[in-house]
Amino acid sequence: MSRLLIKNIKTLVQVREASVLKVSGSQMKELPSIDNAWMAVDNGLIADFGPMEDFPGIEDWKGLEVIDCEGKLILPSYADSHTHIVYAGNREVEFIDRINGLSYEEIFARGGGILNSAKKLADATEDELFEQTMVRLKEVIGQGTGSIEIKSGYGLSVESELKMLRVIKRIKDLNLVPVKATFLGAHALPVEYKNNKQGYIDLIINDMLPKIAAEKLADYIDVFCEQNYFTYEETKQILEAGKKHGLVPKVHAEQLSHFGGIQAGVECGAISVDHLEFCDDADIELLKKSDTMATVLPGAAFFLGLPLPPARKMIDAGLPIAFASDFNPGSSPSGNMNFMMSLGCVQYKLTPEEVINACTINSAYAMQLSHEVGSITIGKKANFFITKPISSYGFIPYSFGSNLIEVVYLNGVKQ
């Protein structure tokens, strides 16, 4: 394992004590950083760091690589806690349909949307899916993502859900980045069960879940709680069934309407509730009494032209907010967390400090990884990126659409 000593870092961003697992409310405005800093990496982990005045003697470091970071910043890699990057093909045709006036709901009602992706996925082999997914994973790693959650949910049959989850397992086993797997069998009602919703829920609970648990294929269970998808009661039924198999709940909540997903999630002890476009004041109160991370997916709201989740109001009410990309073929065909941060600043009126916290420590919390990634902390994984020479960390969300990442390190290894 290589040993690195990085010196003259213009700013070492998001430096935290190991005890900080998330930041809430006004704490989100703070982004502890060291100007003119050094950082040491050993055995794939962050070993030490400090200001250049205290630059260490390097005599006892054998095989040490010294990197000069003059003018450049270091940030911990982004944690992307909500993606659907295992999919076949794309949905470019529906993109054009929406440009021409159809809504996301109308496209789904005529058999498109998630059902379109399910058809494509059924026809793809596990190897093909793996290859397509790796292209996306490598793309987002280059854009700064260093840990990721990946969902199933385009299978909607026992065989295809298992196929998706096995692809995720293969990616996890590469040990390239930390990966969390989410079983999202309740993403939509498959055509075969059009008139038998409880039959599909029973399939999820009695057939899919035991198989997934036996193969240890998932960490989380997720439900799309929405009109024409799954109700509050069904969401709770499915989440509770997942819990019995050791899976931790997550919810696709209040994306297209106010439908009770946040309440279902909080009541089931969800680690996160995601989307939140139609989150209301009562939901904010529920979230304040919980340990559930409120996760905003700016790419989906942007791409579908949805009302914006009340992220500003939620932070001002004292809540923590995480950001994730929702990378998927239908509602957010991008996993670029730099762009999510730009959207956060421009559309949601969050400060650069708030969006960086949302994309690192808080999104790591939303996949139970904030003890391992999400900040520059001694003992955490050396997953970070070095920027091009830039003026400050605020320049990243400011320069929307630019690629300001010069080099990415994962486990202390240059990619």
**Residues in contact with ligand NIG by the rule CB under 6 A:** 113-114, 117, 224, 252, 255, 300, 326, 328-331
Nearer to ligand NIG, 80 or 326 (CB): 326
Answer with the entry of Fe ion, ligand NIG, none that 113 interacts with (C-beta below 5 to 8 A by kind). Answer: ligand NIG
Least distance to ligand NIG from the beta carbon of 69, Å? 37
Interface region with Fe ion, contact rule CB under 5 A, candidates 93-101, 106-114, 155-163, 325-333: 325-333
Nearer to ligand NIG, 283 or 353 (CB): 283
Buried b (16+ CB within 10 A) or exposed e, 191-229: eebeeeeeebbebbbeebbeebbeeebbbbbbbbbbeeb
Nearer to ligand NIG, 14 or 331 (CB): 331
Q: 3-state SS string over the chain?
A: CCEEEEEEEEEEECECCCCCCCCCHHHHHCCCEEEEEEEEEECCEEEEEEEHHHCCCCCCCCCEEEEECCCCEEEECEEECCCCCCCCCCCHHHHHHHHCCCCHHHHHHCCCCHHHHHHHHHHCCHHHHHHHHHHHHHHHHHCCEEEEEEECCCCCCHHHHHHHHHHHHHHHHCCCCCEEEEEEEECCCCHHHCCCHHHHHHHHHHHHHHHHHHCCCCCEEEEEECCCCECHHHHHHHHHHHHHCCCEEEEEECCCCCCCHHHHHHHCCCCEEEECCCCCHHHHHHHHCCCCEEEECHHHHHHHCCCCCCHHHHHHCCCCEEECCCCECCCECCCCHHHHHHHHHHCCCCCHHHHHHHHCHHHHHCCCCCCCCCCECCCCECCEEEECCCCCCCHHHHCCCCCCEEEEEECCEEC
Nearest to 318 by CA among 285, 358, 355, 345: 285
Answer with the entry of Fe ion, ligand NIG, none that 248 interacts with (C-beta below 5 to 8 A by kind). Answer: none
Least distance to ligand NIG from the beta carbon of 145, Å? 17
Nearer to ligand NIG, 154 or 384 (CB): 154
Nearer to ligand NIG, 64 or 304 (CB): 304
Nearer to ligand NIG, 255 or 272 (CB): 255
Least distance to ligand NIG from the beta carbon of 324, Å? 10
Nearer to ligand NIG, 242 or 330 (CB): 330
Interface region with Fe ion, contact rule CB under 5 A, candidates 50-58, 285-293, 324-332, 392-400: 324-332
Least distance to ligand NIG from the beta carbon of 214, Å? 26
* Closest-approach residue to Fe ion (CB): 326
* Closest-approach residue to ligand NIG (CB): 330
CA–CA separation, 205 and 202 (whole Å): 5
Least distance to ligand NIG from the beta carbon of 114, Å? 5
Answer with the entry of Fe ion, ligand NIG, none that 204 interacts with (C-beta below 5 to 8 A by kind). Answer: none
Answer with the entry of Fe ion, ligand NIG, none that 183 interacts with (C-beta below 5 to 8 A by kind). Answer: none
Residue 263 CA, distance from chain mean position: 21
Least distance to Fe ion from the beta carbon of 275, Å? 7
Answer with the entry of ligand NIG, Fe ion, none that 329 interacts with (C-beta below 5 to 8 A by kind). Answer: ligand NIG
Least distance to Fe ion from the beta carbon of 215, Å? 23
Least distance to Fe ion from the beta carbon of 375, Å? 25
Nearer to ligand NIG, 22 or 252 (CB): 252
Nearer to ligand NIG, 331 or 357 (CB): 331
Least distance to Fe ion from the beta carbon of 288, Å? 24
326: contact with Fe ion by CB under 5 A: yes
CA–CA separation, 341 and 397 (whole Å): 5
Answer with the entry of ligand NIG, Fe ion, none that 224 interacts with (C-beta below 5 to 8 A by kind). Answer: ligand NIG
Binding site for Fe ion (CB under 5 A): 326
